[in-house]
Chain A
Amino acid sequence: MEMYKITSDEIDVNQVITSVIRPEAGAINTFIGTVREFTGNKQTVSLQYEAYPSMAEKQLKRIGIEIREKWPNVQTSIVHRIGKLAISDMAVVIAVASPHRAESYEASRYAIERIKEIVPIWKKEYWTDGEEWIGDQLENTSYKNRVPKEEKE
Chain B
Amino acid sequence: MITVLFFAKQQEQLGLDKLERAESQLAVAELKQKLIEDYPELSLDHTMTAINEEYADEDQMINDQDIVAFIPPVSGG
In the complex, A85 has a CB within 8 A of chain B: no
Write the nearest CB–CB distance from A89 to chain B, whole angstroms: 14
List chain B positions with a Cβ less than 8 A from chain A.
5, 7-9, 12, 46-48, 50, 53-55, 69, 71-77
Given the interface pairs A52-B7, A144-B48, the reply to whether A115 lies near B71 with Cβ below 8 Å is no
- Verify B55–A147 contact, CB threshold 8 A: yes
- For B48, give the chain A residue with the smallest CB separation: A147
CA of A134 to CA of B75 in the docked complex: distance in angstroms?
6
- Verify B74–A122 contact, CB threshold 8 A: yes
Cβ-Cβ contact count across A and B, 8 Å cutoff = 84
Count A interface residues, CB 8 Å: 33
- Verify A122–B55 contact, CB threshold 8 A: no
Partner among B47, B53, B77 whose Cβ is within 8 Å of the Cβ of A91: B77
- Verify A112–B48 contact, CB threshold 8 A: no
Write the nearest CB–CB distance from B18 to chain A, whole angstroms: 12
List chain A positions with a Cβ less than 8 A from chain B.
33, 49-52, 54-56, 58, 80, 91-92, 112, 115-124, 133-137, 142-144, 147, 149
Some 20 contacts from A to B, beta carbons below 8 A apart, are A52-B7, A54-B53, A55-B69, A58-B53, A58-B54, A91-B77, A115-B77, A118-B74, A119-B74, A121-B74, A121-B75, A121-B77, A122-B76, A133-B12, A133-B72, A134-B75, A135-B9, A135-B74, A136-B73, A142-B46
